[in-house]
Amino acid sequence: MSTLAVFLIAVGAADICRRLTGVRWVPLATGPVAVLACALLGGLWRLGDIVLLTATAVLSVLWVLLSARAERTGTHQGSALTTFGLGVGLPLILAGWTSPVGGLIARWLHWVGVGDLDPDRALMIVGVVLLQLVTANQLVRLILGAVGAVRPAGEPQPSDRLKGGRLLGPMERLLIVGLGLGGQLGAASAVVAAKGIIRFPELNAQRKEENGSGIDAVTEYFLVGSFASWLIAMAGLVLALP
C-alpha cells in the first residue's frame, strides 16, 4: 500500500502545481520528484519498491499530460481515467512487492509523539488528503466529460450556473474524510444530505438560457458530479482507515 500512497501524493502535488503555475514542466516534474522524496524519506529501496515507484513516476507524468489534454479538448477522458486507474490498481495488485514505510518518516512520527501511528497509514492519510483537493476535482470533471455533462475549456458550462463548486467540492470531501477518520460516519453522511438541501432551491430556480445550459444539463451536472465526488471521498476514507 505504500506505493499507492506515493502515487496519490505524486498526482496530488502535481495537480496543485498545475493550478498554481502556468509553466508546463513544473507539474510534469513534480510527480517524479515527489516519488523520489517519498522513497528517500520512507526507506523504500527494495527491488519491488523501485519497480513500482518507477511505474508510479511515469504514470504521474502521463496523468498530468492526459488530464490536461482532456480538459482542453473535452475529449479523451477515458485515457486519463485509465491512467489514474492503473496508478491505483497496480500497487493494489502487486502490494506484495512493496516494503513497509520506515526511514526518516517512521523516526519523525516517533519524535513528534505519534509513534503508535503506523508509518504506512500516515503516508496514506497524506495521499488521501491531497487527493481530495485538485486531483478529485479533475477526476470529477473527467467523469462529467465522459458522460457529456461538460464542454471543452472556454465554452459555457453548466457549472457556471452553480457557483462555488470547485471550492465547495474539496471542502466537502475533506470534511467527509475528517469526520470518517474521527469515527463520526453519521456526521459525514449528514454532510452529503446537507449539500442536496442547500442546492435544491438553486436548482429549482434554473430556467432555460440562450447558452443551452438548461435545468436538465445543470441537474445532470450536479447529480453526476456530486456522486462522483462523494465516491472519491469515501474511497479515500476506506484507504485511510486502519
For the cut 90, the answer to whether the pLDDT of residue 186 exceeds it is no
pLDDT higher than 70, residue 156? no
Alpha carbon distances (Å) from 176 to 116, 179, 189: 24, 5, 8
Can you give the pLDDT at residue 36? 96
Residue 162 pLDDT grade (very low, low, confident, very high; cuts 50, 70, 90):
low
pLDDT at position 53 over 80: yes
Question: How much is the average pLDDT of 148-162?
Answer: 60
User: What is the spatial distance between Cα 123 and Cα 106, in angstroms, rounded to a whole number?
Assistant: 10
Residue 220 pLDDT level (bands cut at 50, 70, 90) = confident
208 confidence band (pLDDT: 50, 70, 90): very low
CA torsion, points 84, 89, 7, 164, in degrees to nearest 10? 40
Q: Is 44 within 8 Å of 2 (Cβ atoms)? A: yes
H-type alpha helices, the chain:
2-20, 25-42, 47-73, 77-93, 103-111, 119-130, 136-146, 165-181, 185-204, 215-240
Q: Is residue 60 over pLDDT 90?
A: yes
Where do the structural domains in the chain lie, given as residue ranges?
2-240
* pLDDT on residue 242: 79
Average pLDDT of span 144-166: 64
The pLDDT confidence band at residue 211, using thresholds 50, 70 and 90, is very low
CA contacts within 13 A on the Cβ side of 132: 25
